[in-house]
Structure 1
Amino acid sequence: MVDTDRITGAARDLGGKVQSAVGDLTGSQRDSVEGRFREAQGTAENLYGQAKDTVRHAADEAQDYAEEAYERGGHYLRRGTREVSHQVAEYPLASLVIAGLVGFGLGLLVRGSRD
């Protein structure tokens, strides 16, 4: 979607070019200067519109990447959960020992940080 500043800027730029050309042809210094001023305004407005379009496009791309990363993370989480559940079901005693060791290690870390 093209920003309206780009459209109005292009129109103002064209109008300024026409006005300055008419001023040059008729010898009217006022029309020539005013046309060039209007042309510069149109160019600036067009560039502003282009910048807004660029920022809007970058934001859309960032949102797409974030959504894709979120979906991928959910997929890997579900996959990891299934794998852990499978390992616990297959080796319950080893899982219990590992969980106990992890709990003991966390307890040491917490106790150690209080001293």
Structure 2
Amino acid sequence: MVDTDRITGAAREAGGRIQSAVGDIVGSRRDSAEGRARQAQGRGESLYGEAKDGVRNAADQVADYAEDAYEHAGDYARQGQRAVAQRVEDAPIVSLLIAGAVGFGLALLLNTSRR
């Protein structure tokens, strides 16, 4: 969706170009200067609209990614569970040693926090 600032900015910029060109043709420095100012104002408004569109598009993409992660969270958890189970099955002794070390570390943390 195009922002209205982009549309009005482009229209104001075009009007400023026309006013500036007419001022140059007829020799009116006032119309030429006003046209250039109007053209610059329109360009700024158009750039502001483009920035708003960019932010809106980025927010939409973030929302899409979050929705995708939410919808597939169960799938990812099951894949991780299968991978861990496969590692434990492949190397049960190493897995037991790692689990023991983690348990020992947690026990130390809990014990030192009580002091």
How do 1:1-115 and structure 2 match up within 5 A?
1-77=1-77, 109-115=109-115
Gaps of 5+ in 2: 83-101
Instruction: Map Cα deviations across residues 49-83 of structure 1 (whole Å, 9 max, x no partner).
Output: 0000000000000111111122222323466789x
CA RMSD in angstroms, aligned pairs only: 2.7
Detail structure 1 runs of 4+ shifted over 6 Å in the superposition. 79-82, 102-105
TM-score by length of 2: 0.72
> Do the aligned partners of residues 18 and 113 (structure 1) sit closer, same or farther apart at CA in structure 2, a change above 3 Å counting?
same
The Cα shift of 1:114 comes to: 1.2
In structure 1, the gaps of 5 or more residues are 83-101
Q: Deviations over 1:4-59 (max 9, x none)?
A: 00000000000000000000000000000000000000000000000000000000
Q: 1:113 to 1:49 in 2, by over 3 A?
A: same
How far, CA to CA, are the matches of 1:105 and 1:20 in structure 2? 76
